[in-house]
Amino acid sequence: MMNAIILFVALPLFAAFLLPIMGKFFKRGFDTFIFLVVLFLIFLSLYMLIKPPAMPYVYKMGGWPLPFGITWLLDSLSVFMLFVVNLITFFAAVYSIDYMKQYTCKWKYYCLLMLLLAGLNGVALSADLFNVFIFLEITSIASYALVAYGTGREETEASFKYMVLGSVASAFILLGIAVIYAKTSTLNMFDMARAMPQGADSLKLKLFIATLFITGFGLKAALVPFHSWLPDAHPSAPAPISAMLSGVVIKVIGVYALIRIMFNIFSLNPVISELLLALGGLSMFVGVVLAIGQWDFKRLLAYHSISQIGYVVCGIALGTPLGIAGGLFHLLNHSVFKSLLFLNAGSVEYACGTRELKKLGNLKEDMPHTSWTSMVASLSIAGVPPLCGFWSKFIIIVALFQANRFFYGSLAILVGLITLGSFLKVQRYIFYRKLSGSLLKVKEAPVFMCLSMAGLAILCVLIGIFFKPILDNVLIPASQSLLGGREYFITLLGI
Amino acid sequence: MILFLMDIVLFLIGLYAVVAHRNLIKKVIGFGIIEYAVNLFFVLAGYKTGADAPIFEKNIPGMIFVDPLPQALVLTSIVIGLGVTALMVALCIRIYQHYGTFDVNRIKDLKG
């Protein structure tokens, strides 16, 4: 049964392979096919999450014994990431059924989406450093192509920017892997944790490797000194892809891969922790400040993504149990509400043909479903109490104060307030403002787009209400596997 | 050691080309240089002075081999690099069709 984890990568890859063949012979039916694939995957990941089978489970590719061969690891953290990835992909795929009618050649889009999904699942599962790099590149190449999917002026420019910076990031990551390999002569992450030299004289080497990885993964995650591609790339993609990019891609190939290496191979030393905390705090603040002056809906959301990823990194880099749990919780919440907001932006653009806040207005009556879902999402991201965003921000802020990081704690509160103000502006300009007649009568988005948005909005409320069971059953075990540090990976070597 | 340092210098030359050049194609070439530098670093990591190609033969005792694993990894990474470069060049052609230029300073519809 546990061998089924191979399906997380194999099924999307096979679907991506099958789609061009189907595209040759069929005109329709792709929607149903992709819907079935993602539905199966979300149920599989839900099953793995709810009924934890023998965890942690190590899958040995081709039956090779442990330090050799490629290994995959399914533990409480990677199962959590798998669930987040497949959840957001499911809603994005449902949304695409109607939204992608604007573009030609739907099967090409679905083919790239499936490659993206295969890469993300692979990064979440893999416990072999070079294998992580391969899946990371699959994800990156699929997302470069998806950003340029419209092939207009802006899309190509944004995609080129993203591609150059993303490829340089990949080169940095590969250089880091090469240095680690030169030192430890192994690629298996468990064996690497064992062979990593300890003691004071190895600190310089560790910092060198950490710098390479932080540069590489920081570029992928758009932490602040490396963020310049994100506000161009995320708005230029089609709306469901913006939701995927902001919702999961920057987290899985940026934050998740980085924390796996930093915690489980290096055992997070204080210097790296301090560096990550500073980068997180900087992204939190700079992202939100840059978002204030934006009048393009999707661009504003993209800047808020930078700011929110700062919260996640701040929480996790703290290294305390509460901080890590809060960071992971915010990762889940951010993928839910930010995807929802990007889908809302897509609906608004679909209905009105523009996403300039100054040209929109009065959509509350015309687009009731988009309006209420985006209200829920805005309140969530701003951290209004019963909704999901509040709890994770609250936990992160409490953890920061508990660890005597008063500066970062107050910064997080300040950024939360600015976020609230910024989203009140969005709500007022798009939905609640009375506009005298410049907009024609607009129609509500088609049914599948509404269903997808409503699903995510309900999820926002449910996570907010049931935060305690989620925290106890999912996030605390997930944070345990990071807290276990290097010793946790060394024990896995014996399985 | 000197080889590794020169390899890092090669990496930095590539990085300089990506960052400083205004022409899109030169950026792509710069990325190619970065790619080569990283691959070379990997191969150097597995290199031993005076060692042989890693082909096992029974009759020769005490032979030392270079590490074969980096070579396999570099092959994979070259293939990935090929894919990325092809996509980049394809995108350059599209950009040229839209803007009529390769100069980044004249391709700025999006405000940074």
Which of B69, B77, B107 has the CB atom closest to A157's CB atom?
B107
Residues of A in contact with B80 (CB under 8 A): 134, 137
pLDDT in tens, A18-76: 999 988 888 888 889 999 999 999 999 998 888 766 678 888 888 888 888 899 999 88
pLDDT greater than 60 at residue A297: yes
The long-range contacts involving A63-66, CB below 8 angstroms and separated by at least 24 positions, are A66/A188, A66/A190, A66/A191, A66/A493, A66/A495
Tell me what pLDDT residue A53 has. 66
Nearest-CA distance from B78 to chain A in Å? Answer: 12
Neighbouring residues of B44: CB distance < 8 A, sequence distance ≥ 6: B3, B4, B7
Q: Which amino acid is at A265?
A: I
B21: helix, strand or coil? coil
pLDDT in tens, A172-191: 999 999 999 988 888 888 98
Q: How far apart are CA A70 and CA A68, in angstroms?
A: 7
Question: Would you write out chain B's pLDDT as a tens digit for each of its 112 residues?
Answer: 888 899 999 999 999 999 998 899 999 999 999 999 999 998 888 887 777 777 777 766 667 788 888 888 999 999 999 999 999 999 999 999 988 888 888 877 766 4
Residues of B in contact with A112 (CB under 8 A): none
- Are B34 and A171 in contact (CB < 8 Å)? yes
E strands of B1-112, at which residues?
A: none
Q: Is the dihedral of CA A8, A85, A453, A16 positive or negative?
A: negative
Q: What is the dihedral of CA A304, A307, A312, A315, to 10 degrees?
A: -140
Distances (CA, A) of A76 to A2, A24, A312, A441: 14, 41, 18, 49
- Are A232 and B76 in contact (CB < 8 Å)? no
Residues of B in contact with A168 (CB under 8 A): 15, 18, 31, 34
**Residue A119 near residue A136 (C-beta atoms within 8 A):** yes
Mean pLDDT over A124-152 rounds to: 92
Which of A130, A163, A170 has the CB atom closest to B91's CB atom?
A163
A86: helix, strand or coil? helix
Nearest-CA distance from A184 to chain B in Å? Answer: 11
From A69, which residue of chain B is nearest by alpha-carbon distance? B69
Averaged pLDDT score across all residues of chain A: 89
pLDDT in tens, A240-289: 999 999 989 999 999 999 999 998 888 878 888 999 999 999 999 999 99
A404: helix, strand or coil? coil
Which of B34, B95, B112 has the CB atom closest to A168's CB atom?
B34
pLDDT in tens, A338-364: 999 999 999 988 888 888 888 777 777
Mean pLDDT over A7-27 rounds to: 90
Nearest-CA distance from B82 to chain A in Å? Answer: 12
A168 touches chain B (CB under 8 A): yes
Nearest to A305 by CA among A227, A366, A359, A383: A227
From A156, which residue of chain B is nearest by alpha-carbon distance? B95
Residue A400 pLDDT grade (very low, low, confident, very high; cuts 50, 70, 90): very high
- Are A153 and B99 in contact (CB < 8 Å)? yes
Chain B residues near any Cβ of chain A (below 8 Å): 11, 15, 18, 24, 27, 31, 34-35, 37-38, 41-42, 45, 67, 69-70, 73, 76-77, 80, 83-84, 87-88, 91-92, 94-95, 98-99, 107-110, 112
Tell me what pLDDT residue A446 has. 86
Residues of A in contact with B18 (CB under 8 A): 164, 168
Residue A388 pLDDT grade (very low, low, confident, very high; cuts 50, 70, 90): confident
Q: How far apart are CA A151 and CA B94, in angstroms?
A: 8
All structural domains of chain B, each given as residue ranges with its CATH number in brackets, are 2-47+63-106 (1.10.287.3510)
Nearest to A123 by CA among A84, A92, A91, A90: A84
Which of A141, A157, A178 has the CB atom closest to B45's CB atom?
A178
Tell me what pLDDT residue A125 has. 92
Interstrand relation of A71-74 and A57-60 (parallel, antiparallel or unpaired): antiparallel
